[in-house]
Structure 1
Amino acid sequence: MLHRPLSPISTDGADAETLFLGRYFARTGYAGPVAPTMAVLRAVHAAHLAAIPFEAIDVLVDSHVDIGAEAIEDKLIARGRGGYCFEQNGLFLRVLRAIGFDAEGLLGRVRWMLPESAPPSPRTHMALRVRIDGRPWLVDVGFGSAVPPAPLAMDSEAPQATAHERYRVARRGAQWSVRADIAGEWMPLYVLDDIVPPAIDYDVGNWYTATHPASHFRHLLVAARTTPQRRYALRGNRLTVRHADGTSEQRHLGADAIEDALRDLFLLPVDPRWRPAIERAATAEVAA
């Protein structure tokens, strides 16, 4: 199979998606082959997680979250920002299709940190399904600090090891249940509907996530970034670093230290307009 050249990228006769991939790869630092193979999927997935952080600061500071393709590219690539699932997986879906993967979006309900008896949550999580040689894989770059660090096979309910936690994907009727092994307990992350939703469903989910008073992003500063070696997670003023060997450390930060962490650990271009939200996060108590 032919591989597209990555660098240097010439604009002479190049199509729009080739130029888009060049900008995306420059953002993530990926410099490997470009072909719809399992090895490439794993590599671009890992590069994305390490380079583009999960964050929802725009929601916290009442900025509009536009999930159109051009707006996502401008924010996550041109401006060096991160985003949440509709932005992250929306961008990654475009990347995968440009590479040549058979990829589609799915939509589901977050169950993370909810008791099993909790009522259904809104359909506010976007993830992806990628088929390689007919085999389906769950791909997700937009689930914050518990995001699967690698594609997960959807045709097996057996535990699947990653550089961090183990995961399980199980078919339950018309849904897929995704769980992570957290300290020996299989914790639910989300359930996905086994249908490809129309675009309007993403718009509705994004509207709820960005504007509804019950959305926790409206009240809590969150950021996350995952590398093969460690996970970084900021929840309010609490910074947690979890290492691949299972060890972790945690500390609470003041406002200046939160800014430093956003810049140095989460690789974000800190905007002075964020300061009031950062100061509120520094003094607020955060639930476990």
Structure 2
Amino acid sequence: MLVTSYADTEQAGSATEAIDLPAYLARIGYTGRLEPTADVLHALVRCHMASIPFEAIDVMLGYGVDLDPAAIDRKMLDNRRGGYCFEHASLLRRALHAIGFSLEQHLARVWIFDPLDGPAPPASHASLKVEADGRLWLVDVGFGGFMPNEPLAWKPDEAQHKPYGTFRLTETRDGYMLESWHDNAWAPMYEILDFHWQPVDFEIANHYVATHPQSLFKQQLMIARTHNHARHTLSNNRFKTAFVDGGEQTTDLDAQALARTLEDTFGLPVTPDWQPLIEHLAAGD
């Protein structure tokens, strides 16, 4: 049986675990049953990824990211913003707790941009391990345009064919590597570290990702929203739609189109302080 949070010191039902569950369900447009089953877990993940975009605009603007649950809920529920992995993991983790799921939250090393024979990248990503129907599931709604819009069964060495890709988990010295099938070979995505994490560990990792000059989110705008039929992504001003059947459309956006896409496609409330960043990205500077 899994614990119900990422640390024994953070008990389910405590103030740090509180969430306005009806507000969350309304935000993701979920109206189904509320019970800790695999079917409900799959439905929640699909609704979450279709409704709340992955984005780190606040990092690019130098505002930082506050992991206090009240701040996350105000941003993502009240203000209808998106967020990146730590925010998404917190929001979904607390909603799953409220429904009755048992789960753990883990840190992971992202290996997509680093060679496996080089120095280890920092533990800069958060994902969830959830128990449902007597099985364990990898649940990750905060990894941008890389993950499927449904949980992965926690079955090491088993290839899993999902929308938007084929994936597997393999055991490593420090935990489990998530891999995707790419160019006729298995490619590493991130290594889930098997460790009993404390809340402070996520605070430190978040501080690095939100403020360090080498953080990818300080250098590049990355936004994603995944529906059952298509995934929309934005990399700086390059807008791409990848259809679940394999087709793709890519367009470079000017400032006006970029602002409109942020609002219409990703559902983000563009504010005047975003305009200099939008013009900068559209110009390709």
Q: Which residue identity does 1:230 align to in structure 2?
A: A
For residues 216-248 of structure 1, what are the alpha-carbon distances to aligned partners after superposition, in whole Å with 9 as ceiling and x for unaligned? 111211111111111111001111110000111
Question: 2: distance between equivalents of 1:156 and 1:170?
Answer: 5
Q: What displacement does 1:133 show?
A: 4.1
Identity %: 40
Give the aligned partner of residue 137 of structure 1.
137
CA contact (8 A) 2:255 2:278 kept: yes
Per-residue CA distance 1:179-217 (angstroms, 9 max, x = gap): 122353422211010123100110011000110000011
Distance 2:149 2:196 in 1: 23
Query: SS of the residue aligned with 2:282?
Result: helix
Is the contact between residue 105 and residue 126 of structure 2 (CA under 8 Å) also seen in structure 1?
A: yes
SS in 2 for 1:88: helix
The answer as to 2:193 corresponding to 1:186 is no
Q: Which moved more, 1:91-100 or 1:179-188?
A: 179-188
Deviations 1:107-154 (A, max 9, x none): 011112333333211111000000124422110000001023211111
Q: Deviations over 1:42-67 (max 9, x none)?
A: 00000000000000000001113101
**Paired residue secondary structure (1:246):** coil
Q: When the two structures are aligned, how many residues end up with a matched partner? A: 271
Tell me, in whole angstroms, the C-alpha distance in 2 between the residues paired with 1:81 and 1:19: 16
The separation in 2 between residues aligned to 1:111 and 1:273, in whole angstroms, is: 33
Residue 243 of structure 2 is matched in structure 1 by 243
TM-score by length of 2: 0.91
Tell me if the contact between 1:177 and 1:190 (Cα under 8 Å) persists in the aligned partners: yes
Greater than 4 Å deviation, 4+ residue runs: 16-19
Output the aligned Cα RMSD: 1.8
Does the 8 Å CA contact 1:108/1:193 hold for their aligned counterparts?
yes
List gaps (5 residues or longer) in structure 2: 1-14
Unaligned runs of 5+ in 1: 1-15
User: 1:174 corresponds to which residue?
Assistant: 174
- SS of match in other structure, 1:189: strand
Q: Residue 209 of structure 2 aligns with which residue?
A: 209
Q: Provide the secondary structure at the position in 2 that maps to 1:54.
A: coil
Equivalent position amino acid for 2:54 in 1: F
Helix, strand or coil: the match of 2:239? strand
The whole-number CA distance in structure 2 between the counterparts of 1:269 and 1:263 is 6
Answer with 53-62 or 103-112: which moved more. 103-112
TM-score, with normalisation over the residues of structure 1? 0.90
* Contact preservation (8 Å) 1:86, 1:206: yes
Please give the alpha-carbon distance, in whole angstroms, between the structure 2 residues aligned to 1:37 and 1:180.
Answer: 26
One-letter amino acid matched to 1:50: A
Letter in 1 for 2:58: D
Q: Which residue of 1 aligns with 2:10?
A: none
